[in-house]
Chains A and B, each alone.
Chain A
Amino acid sequence: MGSIEKNNNIVLQTVKNVGYVTLVLTLACILWQVIAITSDKPYLPKLESIAAKLYLELVYGRLLEDLVATIRRILLSILIALIAGVSSGLLSARISLGYRILRPIILATYPIPHVTLIPILLWILGIEYSKIGVISLIAFYPIAISTMEWSLRSPKEYEDIVETMGGGMYHKLRYVIIPSIIPGVLTGLRIATSTAYAVAFIAESFVLTNGVGAYIEESWHRLDYAGVYSGVVLLSVMGIVTYMLIWLIEKMYRRKIE
């Protein structure tokens, strides 16, 4: 009964959150439309122009290909950040050498504005991999720090129990360490993916090849205002959907155990 109630609560909260986001977006659209109509400026196009442009570019233009390129880049970068972040977070929290050396390095280099490294990464990694490199680097920190924090706060008793059952390091990792850091990893992942879209835009517009970032930048140079907004809308929607999806998974997992 209790778990049914809790599941209903999650559904209710999700519906509420989606409702809030929809309401805010609707209000923003109305406000936008009013400003666009009253100001009559070319750089503030009406919603229908943006929607039409978005549709045409997605169906007949290059925007779908750009979107796929951006998503592929983000997914690959997040995967790299996830593997590196979780490993570093665990090493920093659980091995004394990692705690003394790796942890201070991660915490000290976190505030560096990593986007500024794009030109350097371009020399080292080349055109395509520099984009993946910078997105991975920025996504790495929230995942690593969150993993570290959750790993440090996991009670030692759980591992003791597995040890008394005759379990070794593999069993501790599988049954205690990994499940105990999942909420932290998801929190880090949620923050990382939101940032990843912004960084993808910067990286793609810095090195113009393909991707939504490159599409926005090129539209901007052509003074194609509706094109710029189409790209912005697309990245925003992707960002919101990803954020909500990870938030939901995180919420469901935490409801189960907390």
Chain B
Amino acid sequence: MKLEIVGLSFSYGPNIIFDNLNVEFENGRLNAILGPNGVGKTTLLKLIAGIIKPHNGSILYNKQPLPKGSVAYVPQDNILLPWLTLYSNVELPLKIAGVDDDTRRLRVLKALEATEVLHLSNRYPKHISGGERKRVAIARALASNAPIFLLDEPMANVDPSGREVIWRILRGLSNEKLVIVVTHEISEALMVGDLIYVMAGRPANIVEVLEGGEEAWARLKRIITLYYRQ
């Protein structure tokens, strides 16, 4: 299973974000996009999620255009609907997809359990911590059964123990889903990513793709010196 971005171009007014961007993401590995703030990481996620449309180019999953509802997107902020309980938040994609009551309940409970937030299911988002909110958002993505997961800065504003839980969940997920995590923090990219895509430049491009692990650190240091200070 492969997500291909082919000849993608996008701009905000005169500000060109991508010009003929080509990149591929694969299943079974945790893909992390690393880049400085404002480079276009979130824009790329929004383009993949279909929230904004590219001016040129295409986004293909298994050589086909992405079908509706195939992407579970977890934005950086405002990730849960504040007027719904956590249970209802997780249930939402299933309701929209028209899944029957019994199946819905089973899938929601399973997802809440997998992300270790089942005990919070009757609460509202404002009454839990940032890390717990992220986990509920991941539970929602899990319940939706979407094959592609997009997470924007999933570790931001999360305490170390919460990061550990999220990391464990994402690692488990990456075996069966295509997971793309966006971050501007090198430590987070190293912690999460099996493959680290370094995004830099204006228009932005993927300037390096690194295997995660200890060797990546030395190479990242060189890349950062080169691109982050531009």
Contacts and interface: CB of A to CB of B under 8 A. Distances in A.
A179 interface: yes
Interface in B56-87: 68-69, 71-73, 75, 77-79, 81-84
Interface string B88-115: 0000110011000000000000000000
Interface stretch (B121-129, B171-179, B183-191, B221-229): B121-129
B126 A258 contact: yes
Given A182-B83, A256-B124, A162 B96 contact: yes
A257 B92 contact: no
B81 A163 contact: no
A253 B83 CA distance: 8
A218 B84 CA distance: 51
B80 to A, nearest CB: 8
Interface residues of B, number: 26
Interface stretch (B12-20, B26-34, B45-53, B206-214): B45-53
A162 B126 CA distance: 19
Scoring A6, A162, A165 by chain B CB atoms within 10 A of each residue's CB, the highest score goes to A165
B75 A165 contact: no
A91 to B, nearest CB: 22
A180 interface: yes
A171 B91 CA distance: 13
A104 interface: no
Q: Classify the secondary structure of A's interface with B.
A: helix
Contacts of A167: 96
Interface string A3-34: 10010000000000000000000000000000
Contacts of B92: 162, 165, 175
Contacts of B73: 160-161, 164
A201 B78 CA distance: 45
Q: 5 closest Cβ contacts across the A-B interface?
A: A166-B69, A179-B83, A157-B78, A257-B82, A165-B93
Given A166-B93, A175-B81, A257-B83, 20 more contacts: A2-B123, A2-B127, A3-B127, A155-B77, A157-B75, A160-B46, A160-B49, A163-B50, A163-B51, A164-B49, A165-B97, A165-B144, A166-B96, A166-B97, A175-B92, A176-B81, A256-B83, A257-B82, A257-B124, A258-B126
Interface of A: 2-3, 6, 155, 157-158, 160-167, 171, 175-176, 179-180, 182, 253, 256-258
